[in-house]
Structure 1
Amino acid sequence: MTTNKQKSRTFEDLQVWQEAIALAQKIYQITRESEDLSGDRSLVDQLRRASVSISANVSEGFERQRHSKKEYLRFLSIAKGSAGEVRSLLSVAHAVGYVDFKTFWQLREDALSVSKMLGHHMKQVERRIIATEKKNALAVRHRRSRYRSYPHQQAKAS
């Protein structure tokens, strides 16, 4: 695991990815252990897919970020949506009596924590995008101002 100041070399270094994997493990465990829940194949499938989608989108976006930070941000947004989907599906599982309140609440809090981590990570990526865009805009202005300083261009302007 890396600290906030260290640069992640792989998506496995990201704390948000690690927490998303831990959440998926817990979802798989509860969907295996709860007899009531395991009988509802549709809900189990949706819960599992949504929980796996979180880490999968973080990893896919991370691997694509060399080409586009905006694309990475899009994948993080999808992952955040999947975390919300997990919370919603857990609410359904609790409402219909498949999971007790304690289990529901703990898993909900875990999913909410991952969602908040994703939101924080998205803000960091957004700041990097803005910084890069400003840097590129300054570089373009600098190049343009250099061209205006050539004597032959000044003569045409007169």
Structure 2
Amino acid sequence: MQDPVFNFENLQVYQKSLDFVDLAYEVSRQFPKSELYNLTSQFKRASVSISLNIAEGAGDTDAQFNRFLQIAMDSIKECVVCSTIARRQNFIDVEQDNINRAKLTELSKMTGSLQRYLNKKVK
């Protein structure tokens, strides 16, 4: 029997968002234990939110999908702030912050492109 696959799982932006979740979990392991319920939790939740909103919106109407993509975009921005705070608090170095930002920039561009495509379809 073949593994069941949902349509949203074929979206490249969804796959990239899962890669970022893996990165966020890996990076947040470096944070101090005292941040477990603060920045660590927030960074993980925001990264997971990107994937969840892409999945939740896919397959719905284009307008609804666009709305969920906007929420995903907001979570991308949240992750940028989490990474910046982690760097400023010396939980991660500048190089790791730049890696995080590069991945988030890519996700932001992909999400924005999908939003523009959906907006053209709606009009």
The TM-score, its normalising length taken from structure 1, stands at 0.71
Q: What secondary structure does 1:97 align onto? A: coil
- Residue type at the aligned position of 1:19: K
Alignment of 1:21 with 2:18, yes or no, is: yes
How many residues are paired up? Answer: 117
Tell me if structure 2 keeps the 8 A contact 1:87–1:112. no
Give 4+ residue runs of structure 1 displaced > 3 Å after superposition.
none
Number of the residue aligned with 2:74: 81
- Which protein has the larger Cα radius of gyration, Structure 1 or Structure 2? 1
For 1:23 and 1:81, how far apart are their aligned partners in 2?
A: 15
Gaps of 5+ in 2: 1-5
Number of the residue aligned with 2:58: 62
- Residue type at the aligned position of 1:87: V
Deviation digits for residues 43-86 of structure 1, max 9, x if unmatched?
Answer: 000000000000100000003x2xx2111110000001100110
Deviation digits for residues 100-134 of structure 1, max 9, x if unmatched?
Answer: 1111110111011101110001001111111xxxx
Alignment equivalent of 1:39, drawn from 25, 34, 42: 34
* Inter-CA distance 75–93: structure 2 relative to 1 (3 Å threshold): same
- The offset of 1:39, in angstroms, is 3.4
Q: What secondary structure does 2:91 align onto? A: coil
Tell me if structure 1 keeps the 8 A contact 2:54–2:69. yes
Q: What secondary structure does 1:39 align onto? A: helix
Alignment equivalent of 2:49, drawn from 53, 57, 69: 53
- Residue type at the aligned position of 2:98: W
Number of the residue aligned with 1:107: 100
For 1:112 and 1:49, how far apart are their aligned partners in 2?
A: 18
Alignment of 1:12 with 2:9, yes or no, is: yes
Structure with more relative contact order (C-alpha pairs < 8 Å, separation 6 or more): 2
The TM-score, its normalising length taken from structure 2, stands at 0.90
